[in-house]
Amino acid sequence: MSDEQLVGIVLVSHSAEVAASVAQLAKGLAGGGAVVPVAPAGGTEGGGLGTNSELIAAAAASVDRGAGVAVLTDLGSAVLTVKALLAEGDELPERTRLVDAPFVEGAVAAVVTASTGADLAAVEAAATEAYTYRKV
């Protein structure tokens, strides 16, 4: 399957290292499926802790293949930053969706599901379903 048909995933964290590590983990666990376009968007432009709307918009543009972009965030102000970008209307690719999901488990579920060629709604549903994963 061509990556032109795949949903892109953006992982927004307050830490560049956390975003990059979760992206690497999710892609690694996706196994033998298609290679999903995944971009971390962590930290500030200067490398500090926080979020940066320009980094998020650039990450979304880099993974957009026309099938939609799912954005997962770690903490509250990352959510607010993405919501502000979505409200502006022209900062993120069309069909960009903020996904309410746990960051690590949701990212893995989103990437694995996207690697099967699933559409944006299915990717969002899989990531959201990660809230129900039990560990005991």
Position 39 confidence tier, pLDDT thresholds 50, 70, 90: very high
Average pLDDT over the chain reads 93
The tens digit of pLDDT for each residue in 96-121 reads 999 999 999 999 999 999 999 999 99
The tens digit of pLDDT for each residue in 43-58 reads 998 889 999 999 999 9
Averaged pLDDT for residues 18-30: 95
The residue with greater pLDDT, 120 or 135, is 120
Asked if 97 contacts 68 with a C-beta cutoff of 8 angstroms, the reply is yes
pLDDT score at 3: 54
pLDDT score at 5: 86
Burial letters 102-123, b for 16+ CB under 10 A, else e? bbbbbbbbbbbbbbebbbbeeb
Q: What is the pTM of this model?
A: 0.94
Domains of the chain: 3-132 (3.40.50.510)
3-state secondary structure of 70: strand
* Sheet of strand 8-13: strand arrangement: 38-42, 8-13, 69-73, 96-98
pLDDT score at 4: 66
